[in-house]
Structure 1
C-alpha cells in the first residue's frame, strides 16, 4: 500500500507556536485555507482511494478541498490526532516547558515508548492508536491512502515504523504545513519512507544525500 501522511494546513496556534493539541482545536488561517486549496494540485499525481482526517477540525478543513476534487468521503478517526500535550497544552513550543513536549516525542522515537507525556499519553499508547487507523486502511485493500494528520504524530509514527527513518532524522527534519511523507509497505512487512516533503529518501542501509546511513540509529 502507498501511504501519504499529510500535515494539516496552517492554524492561528501554529503562527503563535503554541502546543494546541486538544479537540476540536482551531480552524485555519487565511494562508492555511490557501494551502488546503492547493493540495489537490500538489497531489495530482497520486491515485488516492481513501482519505482520512483526524478528529481535530484543522485536518478536516485541510482534507475538504482534496475530498471535493476527488469525489471522496473524509473518514474521521481519532487515532491519527495530534500527540496530546497533556499538562503542556497551550505552552509556547520554544519555552522551557514547551520544549519538554518534543523531548518526550524524540525519546519515544528512540524507543522509550513507556515514557509518559506530562499529564498525557505514553508513546506506546500514541503509536497503538495510529497503528489501528493504518491497519484499517490497509485492510480495505486500497492501493493509495492519504491520512491528513499532525506534525508531531506523523514524525513519531514514521520514525518508529519506517525501516529507513529514526529519531535522529525526525529531530533534524520538521514537517511544514501540508508537507507530505510518502511511504510504501504494509503493517505486516513494515514500511519504507520514499519521500519527506518532496525530498527522496534512501532505503535502509544506504547513504542519504547528507551522507548519514539511513536507519543507522534505529532502535
Structure 2
C-alpha cells in the first residue's frame, strides 16, 4: 500500500506580510523558508521517500528542490495542486479581506462546498482539480512513499476530504505552518487513512500564522 505525504511549502515574503497571494507562479522562499525546507528534507529522510513532486508554484518547486537535494531525488511537477484561488482578494492583506477568506474557509469546514471566494474558487472547484491529481499519483506509485509539496489552505481542505471520518484534531485546530505536513496511508478500498497532521514547521523553525496557513 502507498504512503502519501502532503507538505506545505516554506515561508515566503507574502507569508511574512500576511498577504493573500495565490496566483501562479508566485514568490519564492525567504531565508527562513529555505531552512524550513532543508529541515523538512531531513525529517522525511526517515520515511524512505521514493517519489517527490511539487505544484507549479515557484515556492513549492523551490521547497521540493531543497528537499530533493537532501533526499537525493528529482522533483516532478503536478498540475491542479496549486493554492486555492482567492479571486478578488488576491494581493490583499487588510483585516477585512483576511476575515472574508476565513469566513469562506469556515463555511467549507462546516460542509458548504459551494461557498466561494469572491471572484475565486469554491471548495468543490478545488477538490475537483486536486483529488484526481492525488489519485493519478497513487496509480503512478502504488507502493512506497510519495511526497507532494503544496499549499496551506488547499492542504487543509484536501486533508479533511481525504481523511473522511478520521479525527486526529480533537481541538479543531487544522493550522498548518510552513513545511508542516499531512501523512496518509493507502487503504485496500482505494481510500486513505490519516496517520498524522503535523501542524508545526520541522526543526522548530516555526513562523507566525499567515492568512492561508491557519
**TM-score scaled by length of structure 1:** 0.82
Q: Secondary structure of the residue that 2:120 maps to in structure 1?
A: coil
Match of 1:55 in 2: 56
Kindly report which structure 2 residues correspond to 1:113-192, keeping only aligned pairs within 5 A, or say none.
113-140=113-140, 141-165=142-166, 172-185=173-186, 188-192=189-193
Q: Is the Cα contact below 8 Å between 2:88 and 2:118 reproduced in 1? A: yes
Match of 2:24 in 1: 23
Q: Is the Cα contact below 8 Å between 2:8 and 2:179 reproduced in 1? A: yes
Match of 2:14 in 1: 13
Q: Secondary structure of the residue that 1:43 maps to in structure 2?
A: helix
Match of 2:203 in 1: none
Q: Is the Cα contact below 8 Å between 1:39 and 1:66 reproduced in 2? A: yes
Contiguous gaps of at least 5 residues in structure 2: 201-214
Q: Is the Cα contact below 8 Å between 1:27 and 1:57 reproduced in 2? A: yes
1:15-56 deviation per Cα after TM superposition (whole angstroms, max 9, x unaligned): 111111111101111111111122221112111122110111
Contiguous gaps of at least 5 residues in structure 1: 200-219
Q: Runs in 1 of length 4+ with deviation above 4 angstroms?
A: 168-171
Q: How many residues align?
A: 197
Match of 1:42 in 2: 43
Q: Secondary structure of the residue that 1:120 maps to in structure 2?
A: coil
**TM-score scaled by length of structure 2:** 0.84
Structure with greater contact order relative to length (CA < 8 Å, sep ≥ 6): 2
The Cα shift of 1:178 comes to 0.6
Alpha-carbon distance between aligned partners in 1 of 2:170 and 2:22, rounded to the nearest angstrom: 23
Q: Is the Cα contact below 8 Å between 1:159 and 1:170 reproduced in 2? A: no
Cα-Cα RMSD: 2.2
